[in-house]
Amino acid sequence: RESVKEKAKRRLREFDVAAKFSRLPLPKASVLLPLLVRAGKLCLLLTVRSMQLRRSPGEVCFPGGKSEETDKDEIDTALREAKEEVGLPPEKVEVICRLVPGIDKMNHLVTPVVGFIEDTFQATPNPDEVSDVFVVPLEYFIKPLNYMTLPYKTSSGYISRMHCFTYHDHEHKMSFKIWGLTAQFAVLLAIVVFGTKPTFEVDYDLDNLISSAENKFMNLYASLNERKKSNL
């Protein structure tokens, strides 16, 4: 019988977009979606941004950041940032795939890079960037206990829905709010891995997940281009 990890890897590889969107003329950023197996269940590692950061202080996100000239590709960016932020050595990440990207508030093309890490990994957060590190069962992003949806209009006027999860972490005795692009990537990851419909509405056609995720992204990208033209 295939292990939880092997099954997840197989499904994720089917959804790998590789460098398909890398040539789009937008500034680049990447995030690492670090998966691990704990007590036989898939879990996802997340971070909380330091309160002293100028942008989005105290928000939950994945390790990641803007691309630098020395990075070969999106995978390099995600691994470098994860090492800087939480002390995760790149060689300790088994990179599986890149999923359909998103566009953040600053109009960066953000590529989610999915990789497996060891359950024994002990994060050493860089206090300038990260105030906390915690782990959520991946299944929470299709069967949440505390969820709401917010209508969301992007800077280019594109209307979408924003997922907003509240996760109570017993280990930290704290609740974390997971929303925006971080929640969007976590939801797509969970749908890909489990192949099941979430308990809430999503903007994907689950029978054609990869093409509907790509179409949704390209519509967002097109609306951004339209706005740029209208601003000229």
In this structure, what CATH number is given to the domain that contains residue 24?
Answer: 3.90.79.10
Residue 155's pLDDT is 67
What range defines the domain where residue 41 resides? 4-231
Residue 58's pLDDT is 84
Tell me the HSE value of 196 on the side-chain side, using a 13 A CA sphere: 11
Report DSSP state, residue 73.
S
Residue ranges in the chain modelled with pLDDT below 70: 155-156, 228-232
Residue 224's pLDDT is 86
Amino acid 165 reads F
- Distance between CA atoms of 222 and 226, rounded to whole angstroms? 6
Neighbours of 2 (CB within 10 A): 9
Residue 4's pLDDT is 95
- pLDDT tens digits for 50-84? 978 777 778 999 999 999 999 999 999 999 999 99
Structural domains counted in the chain: 1
Task: Quote the radius of gyration of the chain (alpha carbons, Å).
Answer: 17
Picking from 85, 72, 76, the residue whose alpha carbon sits closest to that of residue 130 is: 85
